[in-house]
Structures are given as structure tokens and as C-alpha cells.
Amino acid sequence: MVTPIDHRYTGIVPTYFHVDMDAFFVSVEELFDPSLKGKPVVVGGRPNERGVVSAASYAARKFGVHSAMPLRTAYSLCPQAIFVDGHPERYREYSHKVHDVLTGFSPLVEMASIDEAYLDITGTERLYGPPLRAAHILHERMKKATNLNCSIGIAASRLVAKISSDQAKPNGILWVVPGQEAAYLAPLDVRKVPGVGKVTEKNLHAYGIRKVGDLSRLDEDFLEQRFGKWGLALAGKSRGLDAGGWFDSEIGADEGPKSISHEHTYGEDTADREKLESTLARLSEMVGRRLREHKLEARTIQLKLRYSDFSTITRAHSVPRATQLDTEIFEEVRDLFRRNWKPGAKVRLLGVHVSGWAEGGEQMDLLGEERHQKWKQTLAAADRMRDRFGESAVSLGGSLRGTFRERTHENPAGLPGKKPKE
DNA sequence: TCTGGGGTCCTAGGACCC
DNA sequence: TCTGGGGTCCTAGGACCC
């Protein structure tokens, strides 16, 4: 475990790298199928499926295809593109390789997503030389170890490092020299600032604010009045400051997840109650499994329900005793579903989301505790089966057919007692 | 254009407590 | 009896990111 450096106390101007892999998913696909190289490739699914583009090759981008675009739209823009489903396991594997390269370079590494990371390389001059030279060394190492290209932004704040890595793409390095942040940012569109999306951009445009320079010239009070806390943060960002200002960007603080969720969009909307509830059972299993992997227990369980017209509701319930059990999650989410679904209304998407990790977990009576432990062991065994034989090897789908006992006063968790007779 | 899936953070109102 | 204020938890929704 490496202790992050808090530069507020060292008084040294820090140096951050933002390392961003170029067209990551597409590049990994090319490693496994070199014939894809140079061609328009779209990762995300088949062109006639419901779904969006996860990643597009640079050749596909020339046709206007970009990530988050509906697959059908991508197809109409570029019918000759090669559409692939993608291989999440491969991306995770290569993400680990990337992480290994980075930690071999500097101990202060924070993966920001599957394909990007922040590094604190403050004080490594004697080892790697000045920042640009250090970045070149890292760039070479990355290519050698993974056969993948990356782009590197260098700056005294994480924010500016991130923006400059984007400007460096593809396969480039860009250093914003300390002191030049505001000048560098001023001509950029406000949309380039991480956190400014479609909505905020539109709101800013309404005030005639189009460039980061326009933002930085405004009064902080004005921004706070109109955009609240977020406006104040924007004022700082427009000058290149991270959330807490300069020297407030610890790298390497590794916290676990704050929530876990799984959701499913149907190929065709459905109002079939059994189908819907069995989807909830499957999603509950997936969520329970992840909870056990992370050794977490959740108190708040949430259902997400999207109808054909895309209107979406979420309904949550917090239970007194935290759980990591598929059955308990499923029963909660099924209750929420039954109370909120308008029977007959066609459903596009269902989701199961858990959060609110328990600190200690409350005591159960002895009998309950014993059954609880047995049930935990059963699920752990099922997890191992899935590891060996695949996801479909074991299912609690049987819960829909009454394998599990209903909740009763004696059995509040609805845990199975003795094995039901066949 | 007909809109995934996995996350984080923020806002805002109401309940409840002191 | 017209009535405070702060803190925390819960719930719902939404913007945003990759």
C-alpha cells in the first residue's frame, strides 16, 4: 500500500500524468484480429440491435460514428463498417496489463476507468528526467508491453492533464507548463471541461458563455448564484484547478465501490410478468454475486423500470438488516416491482441496484444465524460452480416456481429451511 | 439518430429527532 | 394557539463519465 502524497503540505508544484489509451476496445480487438486494422470498426453490437456504440475506430469516426451513438444510426452513417459485440474479459485483461505498466513506472497510480489513469510523478526527475522525457519513456514502455497506443497529458493539476491528453490524441504527448493553464484553456469550448455535458453546455450558451475563457472572466458569485455549488466548481475549473484547488489531488486512494447494479434492456419490449420477474431474479443473482466478491452487504435495494416510451422510474427500499443474498435482494426488488409496475404496460428495461453498505451488520437470533450461514455457504458453492462451468450452470430461477419459502414471522428472511421434498 | 450498462455525484423534499 | 432551526436518513430524479 502506497500512501498518497498531499501536495498541499509539501509546497512543491506537482506533476500529474493523465494516460488515456487510444480507441481502447477497438485496439484490443485488432490485437486478436489484425485484419481489422485500418478498417472502420464499431464495437457495441450488431447494427440492427438495440444499443449504442462503445467504441469506434478512427476510420469509422471519419464517417461521423462516435461512442454513445445508437448502433442503427452508426449503420446508416457507415454501412460498410465491421460491427463486433466486443469482449469485456479481454478489455479487463488488457486493462490489468496497462495497470502493471503504470505501477512499474510510478507507485502513485489511480485507474480512473478501464482505459485511463492518473499518475503522480512529482519528484521523479532524477529517475526519468523532465516531464516530457518521462512521458516518452512511459509511452515506449506501454507500446512494448501491450502493443497498444496511448496519449499522455502532463500538467500541475489532474484536470488540465486530462484535458491535454484528449488534445494529444491520437498517440501523442502534451505538456501544459505550470503557470500557463488559464492561457491554454481559454480558447477551448466549455464542453471540453470534464463535467460539462449537453445540458450544462446549453445553459452556459444561454448566457453567451462558449469558451473556457468566457467562464474564467465571470464573477464567482454570478456562477454560484446561477449554477449553485457546481457553478463555483466551474469557476475553479476554468482556471485549471482541481476540486479543492491546486495541491489537492491525491492519487492512489483506492476506495471500494459505492454501489453495484445490473440492468437489462429487452430486444423487444415485454409485458409478460413471468418473463419480467425471471429477469429480476437473474439480475438479483448477478448483484448478489458481486456483493459476495467484494465482501459487502447492502441495506438499500433499488428497482429501475423503463417503459416503452423511455419514461423511467426508480423505487428503493432500505432494509433493517444488510444483505448479500440473492434471495433477499430478489424478494425486495420483486415487491417493489409488483407495487409499481402497471400491469400490461410494456417494459423496455429492468435494473437492480444496491448501495448503503452496512458497517457491522445487526445480530440475528441463533437459529436465523445458523440458517443464514448455511445459505451463504450454498451461494459460495454456486459461485464456484459458475466460475468453473459458466454463468448458466446454476440458477435461482427456481424461486419463481416456489422453491423458496415465503417470508413468515418465524422466517423473516424467507430463507430455505430443510430442503424441500421433490 | 430512437436512445447500453456500469458507475459517481448533486439536488430537493419529507420524516424524524433534539 | 400559525409556529425555529439544524442534522441525518430516506427516496426520486437527473447530469455526467467511459
For residue A389, give the CATH number of its domain. Answer: 3.30.1490.100
Q: Note the CA–C1' distance, A279 to C13, in angstroms.
A: 24
Give, for A139, the enclosing helix (H) or strand (E).
helix A131-146
Phi–psi pair at A347, nearest 5 degrees: -110, 135
Q: Note the CA–C1' distance, A56 to C10, in angstroms.
A: 41
CA separation for the pair A422, A418 (Å, rounded): 12
**Residues A268 and A170 grouped into a single domain:** no
A201 is catalytic: no
Full-model pTM: 0.85
Is position A407 within any domain?
Answer: no
Is position A32 within any domain?
Answer: yes
**Residues A243 and A263 grouped into a single domain:** no
Strand C closer than 7 Å to the CB of A158?
no
Model pLDDT for residues A27-60, shown as the tens digit of each residue: 999 999 999 999 999 999 999 999 999 999 999 9
**Residue nearest B5, CA–C1′ metric:** A263
Cα dihedral sign, A355-A358-A363-A366:
positive
Is the per-residue pLDDT at A320 higher than 70?
A: yes
User: Which domain range does residue A116 map to?
Assistant: 1-177
Q: Note the CA–C1' distance, A231 to C2, in angstroms.
A: 37
**Residues A237 and A286 grouped into a single domain:** no
Residues 335-364 of A with CB under 7 A from strand C: 356
Model pLDDT for residues A218-258, shown as the tens digit of each residue: 988 888 888 888 888 999 999 999 976 655 557 877 678 99
Strand C closer than 7 Å to the CB of A302?
yes
**Residues A3 and A36 grouped into a single domain:** yes
Is position A67 within any domain?
Answer: yes
**Residues A125 and A9 grouped into a single domain:** yes
Q: Which candidate in A30, A116, A250, A285 is catalytic?
A: A116
- For chain A, the straight-line distance linking the first and the last C-alpha, in angstroms and rounded, comes to 51
Is the per-residue pLDDT at A377 higher than 70?
A: no
Domain count, chain A: 3
Q: Which nucleotides of B are covered by protein (CB under 7 A)?
A: 1-12
**A256: amino acid identity, one letter:** G
Strand C closer than 7 Å to the CB of A228?
no
Is position A169 within any domain?
Answer: yes
- Which grid coordinates belong to A16? 500529474
**Residues A235 and A341 grouped into a single domain:** no
